């Protein structure tokens, strides 16, 4: 491998992998052969479609013959004469009439291998003639079920009933359990004036022969689908079964008279459905085939090709692995060092590499890492100075704002000769600023912040009299937490100014402090007028923008508190609000335990 060591990485890759790439070009040629499998798939689909089409054509011709026979019987002159004569209730059928009826049934009776039985009912209150197995008997029937069915589709002259038990045969033979498909026509000008019926029952065995004779696949089958139900005979494995309630609507709702679709059954098997439509009654004939069986031969060709490709792939892998190890080993080592840097470990040793691209990259990373370490120390120092300066500046902004309001109140007390009250306010102000100075510390215990706010309440109650009351409820364990000083005073000031001064009733401010996990939470609640949904959304949006854009879209005090909290504790802490016009406003301060 010495001939590669001092060459460029690009040259090494080309010299090692050109033979491998040539081999892969040859393998790629095999994929073109797989394209032939698509043609085999199309041939399989075409074969199924031809089977469905031919079955549809044959079945349509046979059913058309049955419809023709029914039409012949309907227009038979002898039957018409008898129908007219029997409209007279006093007319009694003679032996000649029975012979004519039997003769009409013989003329119209189609293929006996196809028809199971025929029913002729030609007038109210007359017995119906039922013919089965060359035997004609008189039976009593009701037209109402047939009228109800025809009323749902009054446009059709001939109506069809899917596979069902023949009710007349069942009434004549209690052991009868056969199935038939029926078609019928009501006699009369409309449903309400129907006076009879001509009905043909087609044998179940006819449909069974038609639907089971074509060989599709081991678990493929043909079925007939109508609005009344689905006819199929072949038993298939449970994993390929599609429930009739799922298959029937999907086939019937197709807009095209013929086509194909794929349905996934409850076992996750994809079933190909190829369908066509009988012209005589608009029933659908469908072939349902598991895709995996339909493509068995195609899969065999694919598996054979894949086997050859796999053998070649193993050869390529074994040969390439030896070459790739030499080329990629230094790259892997550098990659591991980069991953170590991403994890925050900057103290990494770099060994020397040959004088190629990897060696240049290695030296560049080593020099860059040293420079980054120097810059990180410099940036960290500058950021800490900047954060401290910004926090102090924000802290000092609070004091003049409050001092101005308090001094103005003391001035008024002196002018009104309220010296005692002015003296008390000056003492409270002194205590307030004594705590706010905090020996220069920006972070103080919660207990000092509460003492500080107590002095503030004293000053404000002297300013506003008994217009409001307040209460402070702090979890004793929270008192030992430390927080940014002068956090609560702007919030209480807002509660007084925007809450207490805006209501006629006596106001109340409640301060509640609790511990939530690793965080301290202090709520400043008032019973003021609250904020509308629009106002609350505005202030929440403004608190987000004040840190991203540095713009103060809400009050100075609110922005100041939020900035100082996030500068000291991070973006997971800060100030938030809850409010509604009915309940007042709640300012929520969240800070981490320190």
350 with 327: CB under 8 angstroms? no
Residue intervals of the chain classified under CATH 3.30.565.10 are: 381-592
In angstroms, rounded to a whole number, what is the distance separating the alpha carbons of residues 116 and 206?
A: 10
Higher pLDDT, residue 363 or 545: 545
CATH label, 208-296, candidates 3.40.190.10, 2.40.50.140, 3.30.450.20, 3.40.930.10: 3.30.450.20
Report the distance separating Cα 459 and Cα 525, nearest Å. 19
In this structure, what are the phi and psi dihedrals at residue 421, rounded to the nearest 5 degrees? -65, -40
Residue 498 DSSP label: I
Per-residue pLDDT at 390 exceeds 60: no
- The pLDDT > 70 percentage for the chain reads 72
Whole-Å CA distances, 253 to 19, 49, 198, 273:
57, 19, 30, 13
3-class DSSP assignment, residue 485:
coil
pLDDT at 52: 92
Q: What is the mean pLDDT of residues 358-381?
A: 71
Query: CA–CA distance from 178 to each of 85, 112, 125, 175 (Å)?
Result: 36, 16, 28, 9
Per residue in 406-444, pLDDT tens? 776 677 668 777 677 777 777 777 766 666 565 557 788
Predicted pLDDT at 15: 66
Q: Rounded to whole angstroms, how far apart are CA atoms 466 and 286?
A: 88
DSSP string, 555-584: -HHHHHHHHHHHHHH-TTSEEEEEEETTTE
Count CA within 13 A, CB hemisphere, residue 205.
6
- Measured CA to CA, the distance from residue 229 to residue 249 in angstroms comes to 10
Tokens, residue 525: 């609640």
pLDDT in tens, 118-169: 888 877 667 788 888 778 888 888 877 787 776 666 667 888 999 999 888 8
Neighbours of 287 (CB within 10 A): 24
Question: pLDDT class for 7, splitting at 50, 70, 90?
Answer: low
Other C-beta atoms within 10 Å of 266: how many?
11
How many CB atoms neighbour CB 289 within 10 A? 23
Distance CA 339, CA 375 (A): 20
Task: Give the model's confidence band at 3: pLDDT under 50 very low, under 70 low, under 90 confident, else very high.
Answer: very low
| CA gap 427, 455 in Å, rounded | 9
Q: Are 281 and 160 in contact (CB under 8 A)?
A: yes
Q: Which residue has the tokens 């494995």?
A: 237
pLDDT at res. 230: 92
- Distance, CA of 25 to CA of 21 (rounded, Å): 6
Local confidence band at 552 (pLDDT 50, 70, 90 cut-offs): low
| Dihedral sign from CA coordinates of 212, 215, 218, 219 | negative
Judge contact between 418 and 452, C-beta under 8 A.
no
- Which among 98, 176, 185 has a CA at the least distance from the CA of 133? 176
The H-or-E segment that residue 129 falls in is strand 128-132
CATH 3.30.450.20 in the chain: give the residue spans: 75-207, 208-296
The domain made up of 381-592 is a member of CATH 3.40.50.10490? no
What is the predicted pLDDT for the residue at 486? 82
Tokens of 7: 């060459």
Does residue 338 register a pLDDT over 60? yes
The answer to which of 272-281, 404-413, 434-443, 471-480 has the lowest mean pLDDT is 434-443
Cβ atoms within 10 Å of 312's Cβ, excluding its own: 15
- Which runs of E-coded beta strand occur in 359-467? 443-445
Kindly list the distances between the CA atom of residue 169 and the CA atoms of 165, 175, 206, 234, 525, in Å, as whole numbers in the listed order: 8, 10, 18, 26, 86
Q: How far apart are CA 79 and CA 95, in angstroms?
A: 14
Closest CA to 74 of 34, 113, 120: 120
End-to-end alpha carbon distance in the chain: 60
In this predicted structure, the answer to whether residue 18 has a pLDDT above a threshold of 70 is no
Report the CATH superfamily, name and number, of domain 75-207.
PAS domain (3.30.450.20)
DSSP track, 153-171: -TT-SSEEEEEE--HHHHH
pLDDT, tens only, 484-535: 888 898 888 888 888 777 777 888 999 999 999 889 999 999 988 888 888 8
What phi-psi label fits residue 229: left (phi over 0), alpha (psi between -120 and 50 degrees) or beta? left
The b-or-e profile of 20-43 (16+ CB within 10 A means b, else e) is beebeeeeeeeeeeeeebeeeeee
Q: Please state, rounded to an integer, the average pLDDT across all residues of the chain.
A: 78
Q: Number of helices (H) and strands (E), helices first, in the chain? A: 16, 18
Neighbours of 586 (CB within 10 A): 18
Q: Which residues of 501-534 are buried (b: 16+ CB within 10 A; e: fewer)?
A: eebeeebbbbbbbeeeeebbbbbbbbbbbbbeee
């Amino acid at each position: 491998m010495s001939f590669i060591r001092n060459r460029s990485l690009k040259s090494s890759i080309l010299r090692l992998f050109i033979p491998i790439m040539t081999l892969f070009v040859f393998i790629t040629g095999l994929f073109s052969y797989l394209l032939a499998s698509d043609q085999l798939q199309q041939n399989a689909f075409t074969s199924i479609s031809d089977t469905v089409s031919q079955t549809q054509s044959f079945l349509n011709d046979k059913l058309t013959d049955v419809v023709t026979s029914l039409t012949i019987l309907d227009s038979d002159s002898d039957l018409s004469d008898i129908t007219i004569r029997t409209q007279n209730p006093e007319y009694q059928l003679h032996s000649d009439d029975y012979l004519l009826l039997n003769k009409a049934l013989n003329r119209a009776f189609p293929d006996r291998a196809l028809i199971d039985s025929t029913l002729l009912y030609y007038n109210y209150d007359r017995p119906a003639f039922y013919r089965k197995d060359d035997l004609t008997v008189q039976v009593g029937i009701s037209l109402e079920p047939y009228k109800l069915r025809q009323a749902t589709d009054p446009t059709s002259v001939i109506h069809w009933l899917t596979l069902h038990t023949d009710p007349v045969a069942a009434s004549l033979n209690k052991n009868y359990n056969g199935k038939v498909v029926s078609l019928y026509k009501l006699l009369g000008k409309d449903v309400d004036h129907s006076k009879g019926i001509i009905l043909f029952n087609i044998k179940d065995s006819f449909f069974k022969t038609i639907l089971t004779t074509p060989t599709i696949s081991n678990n493929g089958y043909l079925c007939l689908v109508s609005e009344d139900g689905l006819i199929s005979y072949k038993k298939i494995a449970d994993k390929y079964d599609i429930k009739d309630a799922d298959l029937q609507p999907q086939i019937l709702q197709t807009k095209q008279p013929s086509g194909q679709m794929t349905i996934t059954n409850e076992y996750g098997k994809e079933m190909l459905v190829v369908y066509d439509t009988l012209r005589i009654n608009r029933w659908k004939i469908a072939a349902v085939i598991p895709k995996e069986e339909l493509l068995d031969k195609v899969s065999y060709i694919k598996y054979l090709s894949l086997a050859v490709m796999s053998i070649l792939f193993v050869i390529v892998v074994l040969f390439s692995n030896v070459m790739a190890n030499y080329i990629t080993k230094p790259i892997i080592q550098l990659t591991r060092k980069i991953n170590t840097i991403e994890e925050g470990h900057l103290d990494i040793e770099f060994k020397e590499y040959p004088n190629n691209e990897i060696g240049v990259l290695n030296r560049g990373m080593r020099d860059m890492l040293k420079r980054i370490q120097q810059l990180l120390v410099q940036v960290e120092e500058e950021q800490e100075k900047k954060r401290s300066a910004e926090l102090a500046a924000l802290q000092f902004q609070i004091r003049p704002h409050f001092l101005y309001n308090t001094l103005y109140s003391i001035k008024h007390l002196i002018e009104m000769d309220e010296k005692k009250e002015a003296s008390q306010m000056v003492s409270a102000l002194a205590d307030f600023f004594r705590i706010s100075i905090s020996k220069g510390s920006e972070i103080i215990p919660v207990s000092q912040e509460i003492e500080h706010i107590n002095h503030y309440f004293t000053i404000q109650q002297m300013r506003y009299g008994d217009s409001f009351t307040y209460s402070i409820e702090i979890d004793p364990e929270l008192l030992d937490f430390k927080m940014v000083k002068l956090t609560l005073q702007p919030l209480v000031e807002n509660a007084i100014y925007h809450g207490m001064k805006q209501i006629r009733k006596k106001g109340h401010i409640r301060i509640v402090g609790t511990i939530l996990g690793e965080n301290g939470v202090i709520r400043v609640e008032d019973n003021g007028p609250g904020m509308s949904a629009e106002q609350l959304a505005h202030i929440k949006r403004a608190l987000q923008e004040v840190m991203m854009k540095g713009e103060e879209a809400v009050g100075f005090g609110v922005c100041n508190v939020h900035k100082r909290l996030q500068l000291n504790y991070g973006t997971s802490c800060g100030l938030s609000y809850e409010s509604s016009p009915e309940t007042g406003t709640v300012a929520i301060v969240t800070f981490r335990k320190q």
